[in-house]
Amino acid sequence: MPHTIGFDREKYIELQSEHINARRREIGGKLYLEMGGKLFDDLHASRVLPGFTPDNKIAMLERIKDDVEIVVCLNAKDLQRQKIRADLGIPYEEDALRLIDVFRERGFLVEHVVLTQLTFDNSIAESFIDRLERLGLKVSRHRVIPGYPTDTRRIVSEEGFGINEYVETSRDLVVVTAPGPGSGKLATCLSQIYHDYQRGTVAGYAKFETFPIWNLPLEHPVNLAYEAATVDLDDINLIDPFHLAAYGEQVTSYNRDVEVFPLLKTLFETLAGESPYASPTEMGVNMAGYCISSDQVCREASRQEIIRRYFKALVEERREEQDDMLSSRVAMVMSKAGCRVDDRRVVAPALAVSESTGEPGCAIELADRSIITGKTSELFGCSAAMLLNALKNLAGLEPQEHLLSPESIEPIQTLKTEHLGSRNPRLHTDEVLIALSVSAAGSESARRALAELKNLRGCEVHTTTILGSVDESIFRNLGVLVTSEPEYWRKRLYRKR
């Protein structure tokens, strides 16, 4: 049974590509298109807008790729902070390289990387620049500009954007993207426009950011889910005051766009004599709001995402031994959206398993809304047990059937405890899947169960203990949406990350 769809992917690709081309014609000259959010692997959008696939944006750009050049931005301070892309579990610098590979594999021109917010004492960033240049990429250094974004007179001068190195692009549509938020995409676009005008080239700017969706109400769950996803950035959805003043119309924007709009307006007034935009909303080209096919489906999906973000914040605070600032912020968003932890259907069954056994428990909600649980045993961890039980259910096998015999599991446990230094003999999800794959060579039941892995994508899972990195990675690769209670199974001072 497929998951419910609430977003029209094909309509979006068609409408969005048409709208970007229309904006190019309006502006003329060179257009810098800031791509907010993820250009590729937009997993948040796919969760809150069911039917929006993670590659929607790049599939849309493929229609005009012969006109497109992509520039990747990276905040040098994120390198110092060793910032991780949470949904993939890799550092931002590695994700930048991954993105370039993906773009090139799809036939896009990508030659330039911009290091933003660069200071002269950032040796980590300079080492990464050396690495990029050895890989044949061209790197531009953009410095910290005092007073950005409020000191517009200084910023739009040789002491501001003038100190940044110019990116020598070769095409008229330049897409500026990044591994994550706060990477300096807008500043890069504005810096380029400044330099273009100094060189006698007409240039314009537009923003393509999916969230918040400007033509949905401020506190629509889709927009609130974006707020929950960015609590660590202090992003807040708000009514665009410039649009309200210019047109008397209430539309949704967010604080960073509103804060930086005066700079954009001043830049164009200084360089071109007038600004093409009267509000932050006008500079956007996002058509996602017109492609929602079921408002109710997207509302419910967004509420579930907010709850997942709440659990994610709780777990992160537990891992890092932080206070409850982020989870409290998400809890406020939950209140606005009218949802509670109890609305996540897998939470209560997982907790019930744990309470009845005194051991960690796990539960999954399949596409047909049935709930399958897993308990901790001498052979399996609760996540591994749940995984086997879910696959048996999907394959139409009897619950009591053993996909893996105790005799086949024992050698794996011996390997773990006697040779690989593990204290835990129970099989984790990766070990169970490998054992199941081996068993499939001689077992029809194992083959049928293994064939059902694809039907776990998009399913909801909850565990009563914080998952280890291996189980997290397996669930992520399977496309399972997992949350955990902010508790460790065992109390230890040292934990392997």
Q: 39 Cβ partners below 8 Å, 6+ apart? A: 57, 58, 61, 70, 99, 175, 177
- Report which DSSP code applies to 50: T
Average pLDDT over residues 123-136: 95
Q: CA–CA distance from 233 to each of 136, 180, 229, 306, 492 (Å)? A: 33, 11, 9, 16, 31
Residue 490: per-residue pLDDT: 65
Residue-wise pLDDT tens digits, 155-189: 999 999 999 999 999 999 999 999 888 899 999 99
Say how far apart CA 377 and CA 357 lie, in whole Å.
10
Residue 87: per-residue pLDDT: 66
Determine phi and psi for 143, rounding to 5 degrees.
Answer: -90, 165
Say how far apart CA 211 and CA 37 lie, in whole Å.
8
Say how far apart CA 236 and CA 256 lie, in whole Å.
8
Residues in the chain: 497
Q: How many CB atoms lie within 10 A of CB 234?
A: 9
Provide the β-strand partners of residue 143: 118
Average pLDDT over residues 239-254: 97
Mean pLDDT of the chain: 92
* Inter-residue contact 32 to 184 (CB < 8 Å): no
Same fold, 9-293 and 345-484: no
The residue type at 123: S
Half-sphere exposure of 261 (CA within 13 A, CB side): 21
Work out the angle between the directed axes of helices 185-198 and 255-272 (0-180°, nearest 10).
0
Give the ranges where 106-137 is alpha helix by DSSP (H).
Answer: 123-134
Domain boundaries, the chain: 9-293, 345-484
Its pTM stands at 0.88
Say how far apart CA 405 and CA 413 lie, in whole Å.
13
Angle at 9 between CA 33 and CA 34, to 5 degrees: 10
β-pairing verdict for 30-35 and 203-208: parallel
Residue 395: per-residue pLDDT: 96
Q: Which long-range contacts (CB under 8 A, 24 or more apart) does 45-48 make?
A: 45/210, 45/211, 45/288, 47/301, 47/304, 47/305, 47/308, 47/481, 48/221, 48/222, 48/225, 48/226, 48/298, 48/301, 48/302, 48/305
Average pLDDT over residues 266-290: 94
- Cis amide leading into 212 (omega within 30): yes
Say how far apart CA 458 and CA 1 lie, in whole Å.
12
> Which element (helix H / strand E) includes 329?
helix 325-337
Give the ranges where 338-427 is alpha helix by DSSP (H).
Answer: 347-357, 382-395, 406-414
What is the CATH architecture assignment of 9-293? Roll (3.10)
Q: How many CB atoms lie within 10 A of CB 424?
A: 13
What's the CATH superfamily of 345-484? Domain of unknown function (DUF1846), C-terminal subdomain (3.40.140.40)
pLDDT bracket for residue 233 (50, 70, 90): confident
Residue 418: per-residue pLDDT: 75
Is a pLDDT exceeding 60 seen at residue 496?
A: no
> Which element (helix H / strand E) includes 253?
strand 252-254
pLDDT bracket for residue 421 (50, 70, 90): confident
Q: CA–CA distance from 328 to each of 205, 224, 301 (Å)? A: 36, 15, 21
Q: Structure tokens of 441?
A: 């060579």
Residue-wise pLDDT tens digits, 34-86: 987 777 778 899 999 999 998 888 888 888 899 999 999 999 998 888 887 76
Average pLDDT over residues 115-138: 94
Residue-wise pLDDT tens digits, 330-368: 999 999 999 999 999 999 999 999 999 999 999 999 999
